[in-house]
Amino acid sequence: MNRTDRIAALKQAAKERILILDGSWGVMIQRRELSEEDFLGERFKGHKGQMKGNNDILCLTRPDIIADLHDQYYAAGADISETNTFSATTIAQDDYHLDLQAVIDINREGAKIARAKADEWTLKEPHKPRFVAGSIGPLNKMLSMSSDVNDPGARLVTFDQVYQAYREQVAALYEGGVDLYLIETITDTLNCKAAIKAILDLEEEGQETLPIWISGTITDRSGRTLSGQTAEAFWNSVKHAKPFAVGFNCALGADLMRPHIAEMARVADCLVAAYPNAGLPNAMGQYDEQPHETSHELHEWAKDGIVNILGGCCGTTPDHIKHVADEVRDVAPRQIPDRPKALRLSGLEPFELA
């Protein structure tokens, strides 16, 4: 299938069933117990500073590992697998002293690796086509919050710098063959808006229009993103992008995330997606929630009609994803609500004027 046909197939599949996203990449890579040499590879031998921990660079130095992880998640029942490009921007990769060309290569090759595996599985199981989401993660610098407690106006980056970093990433992911963009783990809505603008501007310049999936993060029991917005306020801030899907991931386990997903399901006129952590981390930073526990929680969400896409974030594995896929296989997806027209705005809180 060409990309236009794949996008049509993705949208059709979303009408028929709850779609399944893959799970954690970090925990699976950690299990490989890779060395500094694995991360450096031949290309970066002699590179200054430590590269270990820069999981995105494995797209270039250990593509075999990345391909195998895509393979495991597709085999577990995932319809969609993310590219291994969560931190692949010039701003985030500056911590590892990587230049623009390396960042472009990470995104392009990460997309190509995922595309090849998705196409293999689609040929093997044509009744269940597989799709690739270009992972566009948060930055280590925020536009909405000061970098200096003594100076409320202090920022380490400008909007133009964030926009340019995301534009470079989006262009390379597109070239590599992704089917949709996933702006994920959003802590700062203004950073997210820069990513959205980068995507929309490239489309205006001739790129094929790809679906956009926007996934925020509720950071704690306050029910707000790190930049202070409630679920509905966050939706009001990003709905202008006309996303394919919106929702939340990371930070919380399924039990604590549920009310925020339910609220998004009430207000969003697009698909609602969720991929929680495997519970909260223990004292050692490990995730103890077992696959059957995660899948039971997410089955309840599906049964109650509040989700269209489910997957896993920190601590989840192919076994978690297999259990989730099995649990919701015969459950109908959420029906998108028909909300009356109104003026809906937001700051930290939503504002509606009928």
Q: Which regions in the chain score pLDDT beneath 70?
A: none
Per-residue model confidence (pLDDT) at position 202: 97
Per-residue model confidence (pLDDT) at position 221: 84
Helix axes 291-303, 254-267, angle to 10 degrees: 20
Residue whose C-alpha is closest to residue 22's, from 302, 245, 314, 312? 312
Q: Confirm if 139 and 92 have CB atoms less than 8 A apart.
A: yes
Distance CA 32, CA 237 (A): 39
Per-residue model confidence (pLDDT) at position 39: 98
250 is an annotated ligand-binding site residue: yes
- Dump pLDDT digits (tens) for 178-206: 999 999 999 999 999 999 999 999 999 99
192 is an annotated ligand-binding site residue: no
Per-residue model confidence (pLDDT) at position 329: 96
pTM above 0.95, yes or no: yes
Ordered structural domains, the chain, with CATH:
3-353 (3.20.20.330)
Per-residue model confidence (pLDDT) at position 95: 95
Per-residue model confidence (pLDDT) at position 134: 98
313 is an annotated ligand-binding site residue: yes
Amino acid at 166: Y
Per-residue model confidence (pLDDT) at position 283: 87
